[in-house]
Structure 1
């Protein structure tokens, strides 16, 4: 997750790719946001951006871990 907008487009995709790289580098599986959770993801990110409080976002991402 990142609050910075480094590129005109593709910031969230780039941040997810970097997050997955870090997870895999440490022996964890990468995460994918299922299509049926995309709206919830966007809403959680919109709440995360202003203040940077990450707990809700971390909880959301933990819910996307495949079993």
Structure 2
């Protein structure tokens, strides 16, 4: 089972595409800079940690109107 659940994640962002994009960019940044915002993450993988940050409300994105 996915932790956090897809339902709780979809309440934070507007689409699954946005969820995947934000999580993947944050996971790459965590790999490069070694900076996670969650103190004790459940997941050991970067994508899981990024999803936990989204669920905790620590990540935000700005929609580009192009």
TM-score normalised by the shorter chain: which range applies? 0.3 to 0.5
Q: What is the TM-score when the length of structure 1 is the normalising length?
A: 0.36
Larger RCO (CA within 8 A; separation ≥ 6): 2
More helix by share: 1
